[in-house]
Amino acid sequence: MPTASQIASAIRQSLKDINDFPGTASDSPLKISTFKGAIDEKKYLSLDAAYRRLANTGNATYQLPTRIVSPPQTLAEVFNPLITSAMATVTTANSDYLADAATFPALEVATENLEYVVQLYGHFKALNNTKVVEVSTTSEIPKTLVITGETGAGSTLDPTITLIAHASVIYS
């Protein structure tokens, strides 16, 4: 099995072309990082806090609202609908392209989007104990999306390393 940092750099490479998590209205580039140990509630909240503080830069009186960490979803639950929808977009873009070659750029974008979700899913699927969590609040629209997976056996010689993809997302 490749190391967490090898997988992290493979994911970063695959995010170079396009990095826009589907279904989001905002530009939601994923950031990839790794850390030693397993993810816990505290880590979710601290990732989320960084995004919320960043979005409120300049607001001196900003206080973090009460945040809700969603129950974890499986990768399949999150990615399968995204893949199906990206695939439908490719099929439509291809019909448009066959009818009018000038629409080629839309086929390019649709293909890249499909490749993006499929690759991201593929990379995380290779990890152990994968899950997808969202951190939300009742007062603010952005949610923090956190996709994680682990490598390592959890021993001293082969410690657990968690690989995280995270983004602040606004769903359209």
Partner 1 sequence: MMIPRTPWKLLPYLRNILKDYNYWPSSESDSPLKIRYFDGSFSQDILLKLDAVLRRQANESVTGYQLPTNRSVITKSFTDTFNDLIQGAIANLEAAKENYDNDPITFPGLEMSAEALEFLVQLYGGFKTLTNPVITEVSVSGEAVVTLIISGEWGTGEDLTTIYATSTLIQT
Binding site for partner 1 (CB under 8 A): 13-14, 16-18, 76, 83-84, 87, 90-91, 94, 101, 104-105, 107-108, 111-112, 114-115, 118-119, 121-122, 125
In the complex, minimum distance from the CB of residue 45 to partner 1, in angstroms, rounded to a whole number: 32
Looking at beta carbons only, is 78 or 107 nearer to partner 1? 107
From residue 120, alpha-carbon distances to 78, 111, 161 in Å are 12, 14, 18
Report the candidate in 21, 134, 167 with the shortest Cα–Cα distance to residue 67. Answer: 134
Looking at beta carbons only, is 113 or 144 nearer to partner 1? 113
Looking at beta carbons only, is 50 or 98 nearer to partner 1? 98
In the complex, minimum distance from the CB of residue 122 to partner 1, in angstroms, rounded to a whole number: 5
From residue 113, alpha-carbon distances to 39, 63, 92, 109 in Å are 28, 36, 13, 6
In the complex, minimum distance from the CB of residue 89 to partner 1, in angstroms, rounded to a whole number: 12
In the complex, minimum distance from the CB of residue 19 to partner 1, in angstroms, rounded to a whole number: 10
In the complex, minimum distance from the CB of residue 49 to partner 1, in angstroms, rounded to a whole number: 32
**Contact present, 143 and 24 (Cβ < 8 Å):** no
Q: What is the distance between the terminal CA atoms of the chain, rounded to a whole angstrom?
A: 37
Looking at beta carbons only, is 34 or 119 nearer to partner 1? 119
Side-chain-side CA neighbours of 61 within 13 Å: the count stands at: 0
Question: Which residue has tokens 């291809």?
Answer: 94
> Residue 160 and residue 152: Cα distance in Å, rounded?
4
Looking at beta carbons only, is 69 or 83 nearer to partner 1? 83
The secondary structure element, H or E, covering residue 152 is none
